[in-house]
Amino acid sequence: MASFNTLNLESGRGMMNRSCSWAVARVSQVSLHHLGFLAGTALVADGIIGLMFGLGMGLDTIQWVQEFIIVAFGMVVILVESSDRAALPCCGGSRGTVGGVTTKLRQILYHYAKFLFVPYGRGAYYVYCSMLLFAQYPDHLDVIIGLFMLALSVVMVVVGCRSDSKLKLLKESFNDASDIKSVFAKFQDDDQRLNREQFLDLANEQIAKRGGEPWGANEIDAALLAIDECQDGYIEEEELVEWFKHDI
C-alpha cells in the first residue's frame, strides 16, 4: 500500500511539473505587453460605456466615481504597456533627442509609481482593478473584463518569478561597476546604449556563466521595463550600474 501511495504521489508530481512547463511555454509565446494593452483598452471602453449610459441606468454618485476611476486606471495600464519607446532627454543624459508624450508620462510614472514597472507590482495592480470591476456585479461586461485581468495578474506573477530569479543571476555575474562597463562596451551600439536584442545577448551571456537558462521574451521585456529608468526602450550604462547598486 505504501509503495502504491508513493507511486501515485510521484505520478502526481510529474503531472504537475508537466502542467507547469506547459503553462510557462504558452506564456512565453504571448506578449504580455499586448495582453496588458488589450486589458487597459477594455477598462477604458467599459468605463466610458458606463459614463455614457449611466444616466439611463440610474447610477448613483459612488457608481459614477467608480466609472471615472475605471477609465483612469485603464489609461494607466495603456500607458505602461504601450509600445512607444521614443528617446527623450532624461536621467541627466546628454542626448537632445525628442520623443512622444507617452514616453515622458511613463518616466513620471516610473519615478512616482515604480511598482507598476515590476511584474509583481503590475500583477497586484491588476488584481485591484479586477476587484473594482467585480464590485460592479451583476454587470456581465465588468465581470468578464475582471476575470481576464485576474488571469493576467497570475501570468504576471509567474513571469515575475522567473524574471526575478534571472535578474539575481545577472547581478551576481558582475563583480563591480567597472565590470559592468567592460561588459557593456562589448554589446553597445554607436549611441553607447543597448536595444532590446543587445541587452538580451548581454543578459544571456552573463547568466550562462552562473548556469542560468536563456531568457524568455516576456522575461527580458520585464527586466528591460524594470531597469530602463528613461523608459525609452534602451538600456544605458548608467541605468545598468544604478540597477546593480540598488534593488528595483
* pLDDT score of 160: 87
Query: For the segment 127-184, what is each residue's pLDDT rounded down to a tens digit?
Result: 999 998 998 888 888 999 999 999 999 998 898 889 989 999 999 999 888 899 999 9
* Among 195, 219, 191, 193, CA closest to 207: 219
* pLDDT score of 53: 77
Local confidence pLDDT in tens for the 248 residues of the chain: 544 444 444 554 555 445 444 454 555 557 888 899 999 999 999 999 888 876 656 667 777 888 899 999 999 999 888 765 433 344 444 443 434 667 788 888 888 988 888 888 888 999 999 998 998 888 888 999 999 999 999 998 898 889 989 999 999 999 888 899 999 999 987 788 999 999 999 999 999 998 889 999 999 998 988 898 888 888 999 999 999 987 65
* Among 13, 14, 80, CA closest to 41: 80
Question: Are the CB atoms for 111 and 90 separated by under 8 Å?
Answer: no
Long-range contacts: 83-86, Cβ < 8 Å, 24+? 83/33, 83/37, 85/231, 85/232, 85/233, 85/234, 86/232
User: What amino acid occupies position 217?
Assistant: A
Q: Return phi, psi of residue 84, to 5°.
A: -70, 115
Rounded Cα gap, residues 156 and 122, in angstroms:
7
Burial class for 120, CB neighbours closer than 10 Å (0-12, 13-18, 19+): middle
Question: Are the CB atoms for 31 and 216 separated by under 8 Å?
Answer: no
* pLDDT score of 200: 94
- Secondary structure (DSSP) of 28-73: HTS-HHHHHHHHHHHHHHHHHHHHHHHHHHT--HHHHHHHHHHHHH
- Which residues are registered as beta bridge partners of 235? 194
| CB atoms closer than 10 angstroms to residue 199 | 24
Question: Are the CB atoms for 28 and 216 separated by under 8 Å?
Answer: yes
Against a cut of 0.75, is the pTM above it? no
Rounded Cα gap, residues 159 and 222, in angstroms:
8
* pLDDT score of 81: 85
Sign of CA dihedral 13, 20, 167, 205: positive
Would you call 128 helix, strand, or coil by DSSP? helix
